[in-house]
Structure 1
Amino acid sequence: MQRSTPRPTPRLRRRASAVLVALGLAVGAAACAPAEDDTPEPAASRDVGVQLFQWTWDAIGRECTDRLGPAGYGWVLTSPPQEHVRGEEWWTAYQPVSYRLESRLGTRAELAAMVGTCHDAGVDVVVDAVINHMTGQDEPGTGWAGSPYSHYDYPGTWSDAAGDFHHCGVPPADDIADYRDAYEVQHCELVNLADLATGRPAVQDRLVAYLEDVLSLGVDGFRLDAAKHMPAEDVAAVVERLPAGTRIVSEVIRGGGEPVVPEQYTPFGDVFEFAWGREATGMIRGGSLRLVTELGAGSSYLPSEKAWIFVENHDTERGGSTLAYPDGAPYVLANVLMLATGYGRPVVYSGYAFSDRDAGPEQDGDGAVLDAACPDDAGPERAYADGEWVCQHRWRAVEGMVGWRSAVGDDPVGARWEDGDALALSRGERGTVVVNGGDATLEARVPTTLRDGAYCDVLAGPTAAAGPAGPDGPRCAGEALRVEDGEVAVRVPAGSAVALHVGALAEG
């Protein structure tokens, strides 16, 4: 059946009271001085997501309550929930054995409980769905939940004899050899992963049943893993049978000169725009911050309303095509700029430290992933040992910018200012951000569309109340900055930023 392109889920609107409570904490509304009559209220939007890579269901539920909801995140992207092959590596989660919702990240009941907990915190849940392929194992085995399998036979689910898999005939092993050949990309195997014949109605029926089962737990939508490797019409045939309002975002990596492009997947959902992170990386390393703010304006990008953008994800941090947590200050600036500008829907990434690109998260003796535990001093200055949770979504500047974006909403970019490797931009009358990509401290008066008054720099840390009715009003973690006559005097150290918004007013 035909349905309209999915927009932000109605379920979020039905949870308005939870959202408002969470946002009050996110932007410091409970702690800040009342706005003057002519100062606009914070927009209280929630259009930022976070990928909690390889986090268990229990840990995600707690994080939704403790940090994601209060910080202003709108949704969380989880790792795949289906039964998978055994092994310590991260990629075992992307090799399905069955569609039972039992994995090393938790049980079906724990998944359902997490979804309910996140919804109570005003956070939607988007699940990574692996529907292009099954395992890449040549030898038979037993999956996480005890299901037997072989490379092309999954009892009760798929059978090679029934025609459930593609065999494209490309030597030596049916693997993709030429990404300029659309047939190979979508009918051959991706690194030996048994490729499902997604054009067959029987295969589509089973995939729809799996996705509907996940939705029955209250999940809001799906990231379609390896969507590029399925013909767009096959994906559409599956997606269009899901309930209206199901959020869909397809993983389609844009490659120069390749025939399979992200635009082919927009009629039935949104798509990750990989080009944003790759190009932002080069611009930031080259000191061209202004160009980052202009990304997405050209015809070579997806329309803003269809694009999900990111600084890094679990593949790019291992492949080195984008900035990642070890890059420190440039990585932080990339996240600040992603959240400051208006193109696309930003997705913050949060994973664990590694030196071996195949290494999985820390696990117990049975192979179950241990619950994430964020260090108190999580941030770009910290040295992370292998296996430690990096928790980029909690980094002071990243979390502060999520609240900033929540406050400014979809206000257009107004005043702009540039000076060498530094720039400032305002969004409507609700927020201003100043970014210093240079090697020296920036001291300047920059233009702003904020109304006159004192504001907290939310990147210095959260605003704190002086007391229930404290005589001194709220306290800024850093120095309060005063806007006068359309300008604000700032002092921004090299490789850092300052952000002010109407939800974090200071006294005085």
Structure 2
Amino acid sequence: MTHLARRARRGSAALAALLLLPAALGACSDDPPDPATQPASDGSGHDVGVQLFQWTWDAIAQECSTTLGPAGYAWVLTSPPNEHITGEPWWTSYQPVSYRLESRLGTREQFASMVDACHEAGVDVRVDAVVNHMTGQDVPGTGWAGSPYEHYEYPGTWTPADFHHCGLTPDDDIAMYLDRAQVQTCELLNLADLDTGAAHVRERLAAYLQDLVGLGVDGFRIDAAKHMATEDVAAVVAALPDDVAVMQEVIRGSAEPITPEEYTPNGQVYEFTYGKELAGVVAGSPGLALELGESTARYVRSADAVAFVENHDTERNGSTLSYRAGTDDALATVLMLAGTYGTPQVYSGYAFEDVDAGPRQDTDGRVLDATCAPDVAPGDDLAPGDWVCQHRWPQVAGMVGWRGVVGDAPVVDTWSQGDAVALGRGQRGFVVVNLGDDELRATLATRLPDGEYCDVLAGAGTCAPTRVRDGRVDVVVPAGSAVAWDVSRTR
């Protein structure tokens, strides 16, 4: 089956799954139900991705089949699949040695099987693509798959002439982010910086991405896009089919000359401001979450943004929340998934004490398959190396399904008081988040049709029905928790 045929089939499968969701209350009446009170059937809420950081290809394949597809995740972001330097730290994956699809996460054959398995589950596959640089090693070495390399010499791939040597700083490393030329032609942490302005370099990088597309890959995160001129990124991704998603890592910096807005003609960009400010909102007034994404001075427009609570870098540098924040981290993700800003990406990694520590590996350096403990939840007691599995937390997985039901329904019935916030999405869903230390009791306005609803965040098979009557609902929300109802789960 061709790649495009698979995409068409997955789209049909996703739409069919949404159509099979239970109808809204009133479906048995003589009057035809109002479409606004039924689960979205156009796939408009089927947009949530998850970054399974340092998960092996075999583990991702299994997770797509058992968890991601059934939960309603639209796509999964993998770690870089190409050959890299050897070593224990996580960042070895971000130091390419060649573009062979052989890494400590699995072989080319395992990668291809993973893509097929995810597609069968209705989940697209996006890849973290490292195309700005090669290794940062001054001493010659051998890559994971046996390829020899030197800092500026990669036999069969690159020669010293294929790299920038900026000459703007004593060691050719970036010293000042207010200088565009340094950021885009000098080296980031000694990583050999490819001359992406050269046509033959662009062509080789495009060939790597095209190879992955040939295996069925649906999109890419362009790592360190900020360190390449926007026209260089454009030239590399121009060779890809139009339906391949492009997400670019461009970290917004105060007063810096390079901005995320420059890169939006190439595809979406990660809006780091969102995650940073959401962490502050959770620590302060949750009601301000309703305003995140609205300031054009601080954010790219919603259609251009990938929104996230944390990723593998920010959980280590402390600029956003992380799994260590427990329920605050989960509730921040609830707020992200409840809103309408950007394309949301959930994060799922492993516990660590040392910020450089890699995932657990066997004696040969192969990463061990991820395993999630039964009934994972925020605040679990985790040892370094344990898989956190945030994407399985009931609050997170439940909101992924909720978002699929509400689709593109507008934000309505907003309410905030102290450490609590509530919002509705048209007549399809309603969510209340209580970040306070005390139980919340309130009577709130909602546009949900009258009837009894099950909390979709309580987990499968659990329903303590909550009644909506005359557009009002009495809510009781324990401290540090959330409730969410939608028209797919009624009593």
Equivalent of residue 292 in structure 1, options 283, 289, 293: 289
Supply the distance in 2 between the matched residues of 1:186 and 1:329 (Cα, whole angstroms).
Answer: 39
The one-letter code sitting in structure 2 at the alignment partner of 1:405 is R
Give the 3-state SS of the residue equivalent to 1:15 in structure 2: helix
The one-letter code sitting in structure 2 at the alignment partner of 1:292 is A
Supply the distance in 2 between the matched residues of 1:370 and 1:155 (Cα, whole angstroms).
Answer: 30
Give the 3-state SS of the residue equivalent to 1:70 in structure 2: helix
Supply the distance in 2 between the matched residues of 1:460 and 1:24 (Cα, whole angstroms).
Answer: 23
Supply the distance in 2 between the matched residues of 1:405 and 1:80 (Cα, whole angstroms).
Answer: 28
> Is it true that 1:14 corresponds to 2:12 in the alignment?
no
The one-letter code sitting in structure 1 at the alignment partner of 2:439 is T
**1:172 to partner: Cα distance:** 2.8
Q: Aligned ranges for residues 227-376 of structure 1 at < 5 Å?
A: 227-286=225-284, 288-300=285-297, 301-376=299-374
Change (3 A) 1:279 1:204: same
Q: Deviations over 1:352-400 (max 9, x none)?
A: 0000000000011110111100000311131111000000000010000
**1:419 to partner: Cα distance:** 2.2
Give the 3-state SS of the residue equivalent to 1:202 in structure 2: helix
**1:310 to partner: Cα distance:** 0.4
Residue ranges of structure 1 left out of the alignment (5+ in a row)? 1-8, 465-476
Mean Cα displacement is larger for which, 420-429 or 188-197?
420-429
**1:437 to partner: Cα distance:** 1.8
> Is it true that 1:38 corresponds to 2:23 in the alignment?
no
**1:17 to partner: Cα distance:** 4.3
Which residue matches 1:109? 109
Q: Deviations over 1:255-279 (max 9, x none)?
A: 1100111001001111000000001
Change (3 A) 1:155 1:310: same
Q: Aligned ranges for residues 144-223 of structure 1 at < 5 Å?
A: 144-160=144-160, 163-223=161-221
CA contact 1:19–1:121 (8 Å) conserved in 2: no
The one-letter code sitting in structure 2 at the alignment partner of 1:156 is G
Supply the distance in 2 between the matched residues of 1:295 and 1:31 (Cα, whole angstroms).
Answer: 32
Q: Deviations over 1:191-241 (max 9, x none)?
A: 000000000011011001111011100000100000000000111111112
Q: Deviations over 1:60-105 (max 9, x none)?
A: 0110110101101000000000000000100000000000000001
Give the 3-state SS of the residue equivalent to 1:111 in structure 2: helix
Give the 3-state SS of the residue equivalent to 2:484 in structure 1: strand
The one-letter code sitting in structure 1 at the alignment partner of 2:205 is L
The one-letter code sitting in structure 1 at the alignment partner of 2:295 is G
Supply the distance in 2 between the matched residues of 1:184 and 1:416 (Cα, whole angstroms).
Answer: 45
Give the 3-state SS of the residue equivalent to 2:162 in structure 1: coil
**1:169 to partner: Cα distance:** 1.1
The one-letter code sitting in structure 2 at the alignment partner of 1:173 is D
Residue ranges of structure 2 left out of the alignment (5+ in a row)? none
Q: Which runs of 4+ in 1 moved over 6 A?
A: 30-34
Which residue matches 1:397? 395
**1:173 to partner: Cα distance:** 1.4
> Is it true that 1:48 corresponds to 2:43 in the alignment?
no
Supply the distance in 2 between the matched residues of 1:492 and 1:239 (Cα, whole angstroms).
Answer: 47
Q: CA RMSD in A?
A: 1.7
Equivalent of residue 475 in structure 2, options 487, 490, 493: 490
Supply the distance in 1 between the matched residues of 2:63 and 2:194 (Cα, whole angstroms).
Answer: 35
Supply the distance in 2 between the matched residues of 1:375 and 1:311 (Cα, whole angstroms).
Answer: 22
Instruction: State the number of aligned residues.
Output: 479
Which residue matches 2:384? 386
CA contact 1:23–1:71 (8 Å) conserved in 2: no
TM-score by length of structure 2 reads 0.95
Supply the distance in 2 between the matched residues of 1:331 and 1:10 (Cα, whole angstroms).
Answer: 38
Change (3 A) 1:136 1:35: farther
TM-score by length of structure 1 reads 0.92
Give the 3-state SS of the residue equivalent to 2:344 in structure 1: strand
